[in-house]
Amino acid sequence: MRIPKRLHTLILLGLLTPLAGPALSAPALLLASGVRAPHSTPAQSGFVDRLASEAFRRLGRDIEIVQLPAQRALEEANAGIVDGDLLRVAEITEAFPHLRRVPEKLLDFDFMAFTRRHPFTPAGWRSLAPYAVGIVAGWKILERNLRETHSLATAEDTRQLMRLLANDRIDVAVSERWQGLQAIQDLRLDDVRQLEPPVKSREMFLMLHERHADLVPRLAEALRAMRRDGTYARLFDETLRGLQPHP
């Protein structure tokens, strides 16, 4: 019997006690996602949603994924309110010590510069210093490395970030490649350009709360197996391959 996401959340928060009755299978784990389409969607059909779901399925576990603002997702995972955070850089555990990293990466994030009126060739974080830059709040790697820009604005999510750019509130939006492209496509921002090469590329990992440390090595092996058997490539093709930069 699978516990619905809402009931599982209430149980975790101590607001509901499961009713006595037949023995239940292990409840679904609740993971927070601070990323958005095409990696994570409300229907749990994004690339990373499907990667994580398949990895847990191979361990005989179900997951539910709840989309939260990036900062809140991290804080609730570290506090154990939810069971983990879907996607973070490795060193996030230094500041959030109750998280455990699954050591097989889910994917590489290319952090890209997007602009309308300021074409340039990105060459690391410092190349953004002259510009009014926008980022999604709670993306710690961006908050740490873009402190010395002309100005730094934050948005709740990637769509709001791209709206700031479209309305000339910022010169440059910095976002992960695929989420930026998805937002541009959804908002039909034909004059927004993605600049190459990436400002920075980083490996990204699934994080679990420490109470699930026993699952960490098993999940890592499941992810490695998915690469070997072609599952990873198939999910990539089904969810990301169709998104292309504006020519």
3-state helix, strand, coil in the chain (%, to 5): 35, 25, 40
As a dihedral over the C-alpha atoms of residue 135, residue 37, residue 180, residue 208, rounded to 10 degrees, the angle is: 50
* Secondary structure letter of residue 17 according to DSSP: -
Q: What is the CATH number of domain 5-107+203-239?
A: 3.40.190.10
Is residue 135 pLDDT above 70, yes or no?
A: yes
Tell me what pLDDT residue 67 has.
95
- Give the separation between CA 32 and CA 85, rounded to whole angstroms: 5
What are the structure tokens assigned to 84, written together? 């983990």
Q: How far apart are CA 79 and CA 63, in angstroms?
A: 18
The Cα–Cα gap between 90 and 94 comes to: 9
Q: Would you say the CATH fold of 109-201 matches that of 5-107+203-239?
A: yes
Domain extent listing, the chain: 5-107+203-239, 109-201
pLDDT at 63 over 90: yes
Q: How confident is the model at residue 23 (pLDDT cuts 50, 70, 90)?
A: very low
Checking if the pLDDT of 211 tops 70, the result is yes
184 Cβ neighbours under 8 A, 6+ residues apart: 114, 162, 192, 194, 246
CATH number of 109-201: 3.40.190.10
What is the reported pLDDT for 244? 63
75-85 mean pLDDT = 98
Residue 137 confidence (pLDDT): 94
Residue 45 pLDDT > 50: yes
Average pLDDT, integer, range 133-139 = 95
Q: What is the pLDDT of residues 162-176, one digit of tens each?
A: 999 999 999 999 999
Name the band, by pLDDT with cuts 50, 70 and 90, for residue 195.
very high
Q: What percent of the chain has pLDDT over 90?
A: 86
pLDDT value at residue 9? 53
pLDDT on residue 26 = 84
Q: Residue 8's pLDDT is what?
A: 52
According to DSSP, residue 20 is labeled: S
Report the alpha-carbon distance of residue 122 to residue 52 in Å, rounded. Answer: 32
Q: Is the pLDDT of residue 245 over 70?
A: no
The answer to whether residues 99 and 85 touch, using CB atoms and an 8 Å cutoff, is yes
Q: What is the pTM of this model?
A: 0.83
Residue 5 has pLDDT above 60, yes or no: no
Q: Which SS3 state, helix, strand or coil, does residue 206 take?
A: strand
Does position 204 have pLDDT exceeding 50, yes or no?
yes
H/E segment holding residue 70: helix 70-79
Q: Please list, residue by residue across 156-192, b when 16 or more beta carbons sit within 10 angstroms of its beta carbon and e when fewer do.
A: ebbbebbbbbbeeebbbbbbbbbbbbbbbbeeebeeb
Query: Is pLDDT larger for residue 109 or for residue 8?
Result: 109
- For the cut 80, the answer to whether the pLDDT of residue 2 exceeds it is no
In the prediction, which pLDDT does 1 show?
Answer: 38
Average pLDDT over residues 222-238: 97
Q: What does the pLDDT look like over 83-134, one tens digit per residue?
A: 999 999 999 999 999 999 999 999 999 999 999 999 999 999 999 999 999 9
